[in-house]
Amino acid sequence: MLRTIFAIGLFAVIGLVLIQVLFGVFGFLASLFWLLLGMAVKIAIVGLIIYVIVRIVSPDTARRWRSRFSGT
């Protein structure tokens, strides 16, 4: 009976350690994802602002960029 209690306790401790490691890794990956997503949004906003300025100043250049990057 004492052996069964120790075995249950050992499995509980191993389970808690595995859960802590699992959530630690997923927490890191989630924070990395949000960091990269935030950087991508900022870069996209800056690119949009530059494109709008170029489109106002030089519509022909904007038309060439659009045809180059859109594939048509």
Domain residue limits at 59: 2-70
- pLDDT, residue 42, reads 96
What digits encode the pLDDT tens for the residues 3-47? Answer: 888 888 999 999 988 888 888 888 888 889 999 999 999 999 999
Closest CA to 61 of 51, 71, 70: 51
CA 44, 50, 52, 54 torsion-angle sign: negative
pTM: 0.59
Count how many domains the chain has.
Answer: 1
Q: What is the pLDDT, as a whole number, of residue 34?
A: 92
